[in-house]
Structure 1
Amino acid sequence: MGLSDELKEGVASIWEQVATHPFVTELGDNTLSDERFRIYFDQDYIFLKDWAILLSLATAKAPNFDAARQIVGFLHLGLGGEEGLFQEAFRERGLSRQDVAAL
């Protein structure tokens, strides 16, 4: 048994609850309402903003340049594709920059 299998076995009941959560199953079988998806999407954007702030603070408090570079690299990877995806989706929904900033 590999490490992934061991870790998954250790949290099997939680894994099952997550994998069978109505949001996940509705998303998987394409029955999730647009409204519920928009709520999730907006919340995910708020999380991304706060995550970026957290990593920025961690960079500022890094003990050395190597640690700071690692954090900045992780932040760059996270924001590189996702932030653009959010902005494109918000434009398609007709949201202004002010609307998005108010989330």
Structure 2
Amino acid sequence: MYRNEHGFTMIETLIATSIILMLIITMIPIISLMNTEKKLRLERLEFMNSLHDALQPYLWMEQPIPHTYQKNIDLKPVTFSFVREGNMIKGCVEWNNVKQTEERVCLYGIPEK
């Protein structure tokens, strides 16, 4: 009996399509999560750099402590606070991150005398 073998059968096409769809459906949430985490880390790095810069006048010059102020960075309200803890100055920054949870990062510095 002669059999035509010039193309794919319907079942082969369905299996290949289902495998491709499974890969796509699996990868979309993973890529979305990776993008969210990337934004979270970039945001955290940017606010830590801003905190570092804001902490410098309290370390090198006589600035009144405790001090708290709010500033907008990339259209996000960010709160900076500075307090003295022992012989060190603690600077903290608080904001609502990409995941809409409140995040707080603190840096410590020893003031120049």
TM-score scaled by length of structure 2: 0.32
Q: Which has the higher helix share?
A: 1
* Structure with greater Cα Rg: 2
Question: Does 1 or 2 have the higher relative contact order (CA < 8 Å, sep 6+)?
Answer: 2
